[in-house]
Chains A and B, each alone.
Chain A
Amino acid sequence: MQNAKDTFYLTLQARLAALNPSRTIVLRGVVRPATLVDENELPTASIPTNSFRLQWTKLQVAGASPLPRVAMECAIHYATDGTAANGGMDRGRMLAAMDAELASALTAPPHTVPKMNYAATPPAAMQTSVFWADPVFGAVCEDAERLARTATVQVFAYQEAGEL
């Protein structure tokens, strides 16, 4: 399952970075594309804005298939305060831009990528592919000047022999 999670995350990160290369974040002193997985980072109370944060939530395993099929729900959180230069009055536009980037990244074909084992050096292609459904966008949450949204997407993969 970890291979599927890593593959989906890096695919989404690459697609989002290609759509908007200027959307970056400084994390642990390093400038990187503004897409991260919460469980891979240090626990923190501060929520980064203008970035996409992935959380793996629900999990289902269908064992009837010759290869167990895993369905994982990925919740993608993002928020913006707008820019200080505009007094935050552009926060709606900035959230719309993030909506559009995420929608484009998740709905553009192909909707399947070969599963990779990133624990190997160099990363090794596995024999099955990771695939996903269309995203479902939740309602906007307002907290003072901050606008936030969560989109969820079902990610599927097959557990290969010997894979953990």
Chain B
Amino acid sequence: MSTTPSVAPVARRVRAYFAPVNRAAGTPTLFDPARLGRFPLQTPPAPWLDLGWIAKFVRKSGTKVDALRAGAPAMAVAQVRTEVDASVALEFETWGKLQSALASGSQQTNLLATAAGAAPNGSGGLAAAPVPLLTGTGPASTASALNVGATAAAAFSPGSLVAVDVDYTGQLGYIGSGISAACVQSAAVVANDINYVRRVTLNVGVVASIANGILSLATPLPAGAPSAGMQVSQLAGFCDREGASFFQEWSALFVLPGTQGDRILYHYPRLQAMQSSAEAAEPLATPLQTIRLAAAFRALPVRDANDGETVLCFRSYLPAPLRDI
């Protein structure tokens, strides 16, 4: 078959996927475009999480190339990279838990339902007692079905937001099942709060329906089936704070699907938040405006196993079928 001249890619928008970085081990999630580059956009390969379409995606290279000069008058005889830097800015189209956590710049807290008489607090007061997951009574809990029993289930309703994670029992360092959500320096700082892991975890879901003591979730929990000891707390929403100390770090993949079957992929194995929580207001019609979560990240380096180069980002292009290259 003959080929057709290739043309500059035309794309409508950019889709974002993020995957956790193992903060304790310092290990990012690497995406292999040679093997997985043409994955269906709606179903990214595990453990990549689909954060949907994004707007105002801007890549910036801060890499500086200087000339080495010699002679009189000085003439450029060679070039050298004196600084390597890259950043990414974007706006999310939705305000989901992951999007708002990523755009918060730091640890984001879940606004756990408070205990009766709890003192007011900016990120939520003392949390109500969590609900245990039943074991040995009825079906085992899964990533999308939580067995709390009929009595406890009466306190939930379709639409309830839930955080599912282990109790805080003095863990230090990175906490949060599946995804590192915060870093604890000392148990005293978090007041040994049994709910602290659930307060920061990204392992959250929405109850879609309730039957026979089972909370069925609209989408599976990011961390998968609950492990032993996990409990459930209800939450009202999410909160982030200007001045908090934690740096979110994620592996990221941005995909521009071309109209001709071609595809551009930008893979940043390590992105750390580089700005605090921010929003972008887009006028809709006076006096309405759309508020989008605005995020900015700085790329951190990884080593390419093929040649040992230390790099910040991988840009891949998958041509359309039967195109000249």
Q: Chain A: residues with CB nearer than 8 A to chain B?
A: 65-67, 69, 111-112, 127-129, 131, 156, 158, 160-161
Contacts and interface: CB of A to CB of B under 8 A. Distances in A.
B7 interface: yes
Contact of B261 (A111, A129, A156): A129
Nearest to B323: A127
Nearest to A111: B12
Given A65-B8, A66-B6, A160-B4, 13 more contacts: A65-B7, A66-B7, A67-B4, A112-B260, A127-B4, A127-B321, A127-B322, A128-B260, A131-B259, A156-B10, A156-B259, A158-B7, A158-B260
Interface string B296-325: 000000000000000000000000011000
Nearest to A113: B259
Nearest to B261: A129
Contacts of B12: 111
B259 A111 contact: yes
A66 B5 contact: yes
B7 A67 contact: yes
Interface of B: 4-8, 10, 12, 259-261, 321-322
Contacts of A161: 4
A30 B12 CA distance: 38
21 contacts: A65-B8, A66-B5, A66-B6, A67-B4, A67-B5, A67-B7, A69-B7, A111-B12, A111-B259, A112-B260, A127-B4, A127-B321, A127-B322, A128-B4, A128-B260, A131-B10, A131-B259, A156-B10, A156-B259, A158-B7, A160-B4
Chain B contact residues: helix, strand, loop or mixed: loop
A67 B320 CA distance: 14
Contacts of A111: 12, 259
Contacts of B8: 65
A65 B8 CA distance: 8
Contacts of A66: 5-7
B79 to A, nearest CB: 31
A131 B12 CA distance: 10
Contacts of A128: 4, 260
A161 B3 CA distance: 10
A131 B6 CA distance: 16
Contacts of A112: 259-260
A65 B9 CA distance: 11
A129 B260 contact: yes
Contacts of B259: 111-112, 129, 131, 156
A111 B7 CA distance: 18
Leading 7 A-B pairs by shortest Cβ distance: A66-B5, A131-B259, A127-B4, A112-B259, A129-B260, A65-B7, A67-B5
B318 to A, nearest CB: 15
Contacts of B322: 127
A111 B4 CA distance: 21
A146 B108 CA distance: 55
A160 B7 CA distance: 12
Nearest to B321: A127
A129 B7 CA distance: 12
A33 to B, nearest CB: 26
A69 B5 CA distance: 12
Nearest to A133: B12
Nearest to A112: B259
Contacts of B321: 127
Nearest to A158: B7
A128 B10 CA distance: 12
Nearest to A115: B260
A56 to B, nearest CB: 20
Nearest to B12: A111
A158 B5 CA distance: 10
Contacts of B6: 66
A66 B4 CA distance: 9
